[in-house]
Amino acid sequence: MADNSKDTTHFGFQTVAKDEKAGKVADVFHSVAAKYDLMNDLMSMGIHRVWKRFTIDCSGVRRGQRVLDLAGGTGDLTAKFSRLVGETGEVVLADINSSMLKMGREKLRNLGIAGNVSYVQANAEALPFPDNYFDCITISFGLRNVTDKDKALASMFRVLKPGGRLLVLEFSKPLLAPLSKVYDAYSFHILPRIGQLVANDAESYRYLAESIRMHPDQETLKQMMEDVGFENSTYYNLTGGIVALHRGYKF
């Protein structure tokens, strides 16, 4: 019997053809884009802002540098990086989803952020940038939605300058069993209800919860980064491991 596992991947808890996943993920984010910031605050009780601030603090980004905020969505990290790199630097907000990119552009322009930020619709697996281009790349709550994570990590490695660093902020595996049980109850019962009430979309938030469970754990992701060439890879568990920040360098 033929092994079709190489042609399939997961979409939440479903098994789908690899060439179908990107479209299904796109549908989710087209649906949630308009309420994305509000839902982030509700889902995390505002703690996502602390996680993102920690990511910025760990980035080492300085004036005049070039930063890629990949899967940057509505631009929370881009807004901070824009101030850090100043007029002589550059921040690229990239997202595969046109609806999310539109929301990010509108939000940042309303905040008066324009001069050093550009917007690119891009697939993380085949980034449309030259080799050795960025000083820093961040991908925040986006890697778990990528079909081929190894290919995406290799693409990020390619476009980083020597000495550059990648930061992956993503949901991960809680460290304590009691926390896992509470987190599961919240994710699979409460989160879809919030999604239904606020965004009129329980299914998309059910997928987001499932996608978190299918994402590699802390040690697995660290090894995946090292396998494509990143060195000195480390991770920091945040909020008991519900979220982890991975950091790796290109030398």
Query: pLDDT digits over 43-85, tens only?
Result: 788 999 999 999 999 999 999 999 999 999 899 999 999 999 9
- Does residue 160 surpass a pLDDT of 90? yes
Residue 102 has pLDDT above 70, yes or no: yes
Strand 243-249 relative to strand 231-238, pairing: antiparallel
Cα gap 91→156, rounded to integer Å: 15
Amino acid type, 45: M
Token pair in block for residue 6: 């190489």
Residue ranges for the binding site for S-adenosyl-L-methionine? Answer: 74, 95, 123-124, 140
The binding site consists of: 74, 95, 123-124, 140
Confidence of residue 2 (pLDDT cuts 50, 70, 90): very low
* pTM of the full structure: 0.89
Nearest to 20 by CA among 11, 28, 31: 11
DSSP state of 33: G
Q: What is the chain's length?
A: 251
Phi-psi region of 200 (alpha: psi -120 to 50; beta: other; left: phi over 0): left
Question: Tokens 């004036």 label which residue?
Answer: 63
pLDDT of residue 13: 78
Which domains does the chain carry? Answer: 18-171+217-249 (3.40.50.150)
Q: Which of 116, 102, 107 is nearest to 66 (CA)?
A: 116
What pLDDT does 161 receive?
98
What is the rounded average pLDDT for all residues in the chain?
A: 92
**Average pLDDT of the segment spanning 194-207:** 83
